[in-house]
Structure formats: structure tokens, C-alpha cells
């Protein structure tokens, strides 16, 4: 049985080309980039090349607008804390109810322990931001607006360019958690009003434990980590040279294959959704059907538990997840689906299938062959299901 991996929003396989590029920097070219001797200079040159590759992927105007970090979580924390420090006299943050815990957990802490006022903007049943509520929350008290570019669970894409313009109208900084967008969507930051952007290498076939924070030139900033002079004094600590070099190669590969990969993933995603909707009753696709990541499909199967579905899928050699990977061990419905007002009977049975450029048609055929029987067998054990159909209280979305 050939395994099928459809959990690429949690992490991706590191490309062999990325691994090959990294290996020499563990044993042969092992110098510290901060050193002035030849060993360090050689590594320093490789880091500059990697920085330029990432610059090209995200459309930054200058390569020094990129600060390497340990990942998306550090980048998010750095952006938020920096904004609160530099925007004197402003103590409010605007974010959404469907952000990643790396944003929401910090906002909860700041609200509880540091007196920061947090506005959490709601979304509709398709995960789209309530723009009117956002406009109402904007004021000259807001230090930072932080909205994700694309949702990690539903794939819904926010119109971050326009949201950034609105933030600037009241003098606030704008940050976007683009962890799920980079490498999947075309990004051209130099032609936006976005001040800061977070990304993570392992979401587009680079190594784990490495990310970056884009900081637009001229944006006031305070480091989260202080110490050495690395990253122009904006992020202390010896650079993780092998990982940065790997990220650079992954960025090059993502930029070169994005158009082809996008077309293939959309076709496979649509085949998956159409096949399941036709063969499995009482299920629906979540998220914006028109403005969504090309690789992401979260399908809510009513009247059964998502954890049970995942166990059955795993036994069949298929990897998927129930909402965010960071909360997949919890029996509570996803905070994203709760914010979308998806009923309890459906939110508990939501499964996220996330594809990559490596996903094949055979992978999708395997899922379509296995899932209907899994759902049927689990519903036979559900107290909310009968041979005549679902019990009252079901949910019929506006689209299905």
C-alpha cells in the first residue's frame, strides 16, 4: 500500500535538492558567517544568495528587508511586540477571529497581562472577513493590524492589500501572517502597503525551524531578541546557515514551479471535492469557494467525529488532519469553524486535505476510493444517524 500524504499545510516534504544544498554547510563549509576569515566569508556569501532568492519569491524591493527567524511563530511575535513598542500612544491591535494560535495566543496574553485592547474581527460562513466591522474598529489608537493572508484550515484568502491601505489611513502598521500563502500564491510586496510579513520555510518544501520576517524599509522596529549584530542588529543569534541556504533553494524552486503547480493542484482539489460531494451525503466544503488557496480543501462530514475519520484514514495509509495541525489532538471543534458559525454536528467532522505540487491523481483516486466507506461505517455507529438519514438539526450551507 503506497502512503498518501495530504497534510501539506502542516508541513511539506523537504525537496531532495534542498537537502543536497544544505549538507555541505554542516561538514565542509561550516564557518560562522560573522567571522572575517575565509570560512566565514564563504558562508556569508551563500546566505546573501539565499536572501535574494527569498526576496524574489515575495517581491520585496530590497534583500535587507528580510530578517531570518526560527519560524512563523517568532516572526509573528516579533512583529506584534515591535509595533506596540514603536507606536507610542497607541495600545490597540486589530486581528481576526480565525488567526493562527501564534497570533491569537499572544493577543490574549497582551490583553490579559499588559492592558492591550484587542479587536477580533468576525468572519462570515465562508470565512470571509467582515470589512464593515474592521472599518469600525480602526482608529488612531490602533498600533497594528494583523490579518493572515490565507487561512491554514479553510484556505480562504483575505484581501490583504486593501486591508493594509485601510490601516495606513489611520496611521497604523500592517502585518500579515503569510505562512500558508508564501510559495502558493504570487506575492509582490513592493507594490503593496504591507509593512511586515511572516513566513515559514517548511510550508514550501524547505527545512523546519527556519522562517523570516519581511520588514519594509523605513518601518520603525524593535528587536525581539537582543545580543549580537546578526541580521543588521534586528535578530540576534548565529544564523542557521544550512537551513537558510535550504530555504533559498526552496524559494527558487517554488517561484519556478508555482504556475504549473497551482494549475495541477486546483484540478486535483476540485476532483477530490466533486468526487466526495457526489458519493458522500451530508457533507460540504468550507471556506470561500472562489478565493481560496489552490491546495486546500476542508470538508465537513456531518454526524461523525473527525478524529475517528483520521484514525481510519491513517489505517488506510492516508494522512490528513482535522483543522489546524496545532489543535488536531483536541476534541473541541476548530476555533476557525466555530467563528464561521458552522454547526456542532458538522464542525466536529471537518477534515482538511492539503495538497502539494507532488500530489498525484493516483493519490486523489485512492482517497475517493477509501473515504465513502469510512464515512458510511462511522455513521452506522453514530447516535445522530439512522438508515433513513440524518437526525434533525443538520446544516445546509449556501453552497455545497
- For residue range 153-188, what is the model confidence (pLDDT) as tens digits? 999 999 999 999 999 999 999 999 999 999 999 999
Residue 192, classed as helix, strand or coil, is coil
| CA atoms of 232 and 33, how far apart (whole Å) | 13
Kindly report, residue by residue over 251-271, the tens digit of the pLDDT.
999 999 999 999 999 999 999
Residues 6+ apart with CB under 8 A from 186: 258
Kindly report, residue by residue over 204-217, the tens digit of the pLDDT.
999 999 999 999 99
pLDDT score at 49: 97
- Give the residue-averaged pLDDT of 307-329: 82
Instruction: Could you please state the CATH topology (level 3) that the domain comprising 16-254 is classified under.
Output: 3.40.640
Instruction: Please determine, for residue 396, whether its predicted confidence score (pLDDT) is greater than 70.
Output: no
Closest CA to 160 of 170, 173, 175, 172: 175
| Type and span of the H or E element at 319 | strand 318-319
Which of 326, 368, 370, 390 is labelled catalytic? 326
pLDDT band of residue 230 (cuts 50, 70, 90) is confident
Tell me what the pLDDT averaged over the chain comes to: 92
pTM of the model: 0.93
Instruction: Could you please state the CATH topology (level 3) that the domain comprising 4-10+259-390 is classified under.
Output: 3.90.1150
Kindly report, residue by residue over 332-354, the tens digit of the pLDDT.
789 999 999 999 889 999 999 99
Helix, strand, coil share (%) of the chain residues, nearest 5:
45, 15, 40
| Domain chopping of the chain, boundaries | 4-10+259-390, 16-254
107 is annotated as an active-site residue? no
Amino acid at each position: 500500500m503506497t502512503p498518501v500524504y495530504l497534510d501539506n499545510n502542516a508541513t511539506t516534504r523537504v525537496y531532495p535538492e534542498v537537502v543536497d544544498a544544505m549538507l555541505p554547510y554542516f561538514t565542509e563549509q561550516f564557518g560562522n558567517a560573522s567571522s572575517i576569515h575565509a570560512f566565514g566569508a564563504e558562508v556569508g556569501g551563500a546566505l546573501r544568495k539565499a536572501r535574494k532568492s527569498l526576496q524574489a519569491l515575495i517581491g520585496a524591493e530590497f534583500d535587507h528587508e528580510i530578517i531570518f527567524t526560527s519560524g512563523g511563530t517568532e516572526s509573528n511575535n516579533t512583529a506584534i511586540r515591535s509595533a506596540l513598542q514603536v507606536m507610542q500612544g497607541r495600545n490597540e491591535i486589530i486581528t481576526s477571529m480565525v488567526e493562527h494560535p501564534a497570533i491569537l495566543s499572544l493577543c490574549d496574553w497582551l490583553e490579559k497581562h499588559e492592558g492591550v485592547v484587542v479587536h477580533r474581527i468576525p468572519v462570515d460562513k465562508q470565512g470571509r472577513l467582515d470589512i464593515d466591522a474592521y472599518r469600525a474598529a480602526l482608529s488612531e489608537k490602533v498600533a497594528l493590524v494583523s490579518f493572515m493572508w490565507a487561512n491554514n484550515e479553510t484556505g480562504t484568502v483575505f484581501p490583504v492589500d486593501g486591508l493594509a491601505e485601510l490601516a495606513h489611513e489611520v496611521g497604523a502598521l500592517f502585518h500579515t501572517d503569510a505562512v500558508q500563502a508564501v510559495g502558493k500564491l504570487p506575492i509582490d510586496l513592493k507594490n503593496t502597503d504591507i509593512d511586515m510579513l511572516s513566513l515559514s520555510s517548511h510550508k514550501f518544501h524547505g527545512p523546519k525551524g527556519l522562517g523570516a520576517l519581511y520588514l519594509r524599509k523605513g518601518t520603525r522596529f524593535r528587536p525581539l531578541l537582543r545580543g549580537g549584530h546578526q541580521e543588521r542588529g534586528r535578530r540576534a543569534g548565529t544564523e542557521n546557515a544550512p537551513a537558510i541556504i535550504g530555504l533559498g533553494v526552496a524559494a527558487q524552486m517554488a517561484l519556478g514551479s508555482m504556475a504549473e503547480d497551482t494549475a495541477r493542484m486546483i484540478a486535483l482539489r476540485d476532483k477530490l471535492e466533486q468526487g466526495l460531494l457526489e458519493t458522500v451525503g451530508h457533507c460540504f466544503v468550507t471556506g470561500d469557494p472562489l478565493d481560496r488557496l489552490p491546495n486546500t480543501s476542508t470538508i465537513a462530514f456531518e454526524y461523525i467525529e473527525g478524529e475517528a475519520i483520521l484514525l481510519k484514514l491513517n489505517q488506510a495509509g492516508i494522512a490528513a488532519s482535522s483543522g489546524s495541525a496545532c489543535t488536531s489532538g483536541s476534541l473541541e471543534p476548530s476555533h476557525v469553524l466555530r467563528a464561521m458559525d458552522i454547526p456542532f454536528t458538522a464542525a466536529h467532522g471537518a477534515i482538511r486535505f492539503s495538497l502539494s505540487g507532488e500530489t498525484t491523481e493516483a493519490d486523489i483516486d485512492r482517497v475517493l476510493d477509501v473515504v465513502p466507506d469510512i464515512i458510511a461505517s462511522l455513521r452506522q455507529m453514530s447516535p445522530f444517524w439512522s438508515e433513513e438519514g440524518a437526525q434533525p438539526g443538520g446544516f445546509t450551507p449556501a453552497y455545497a
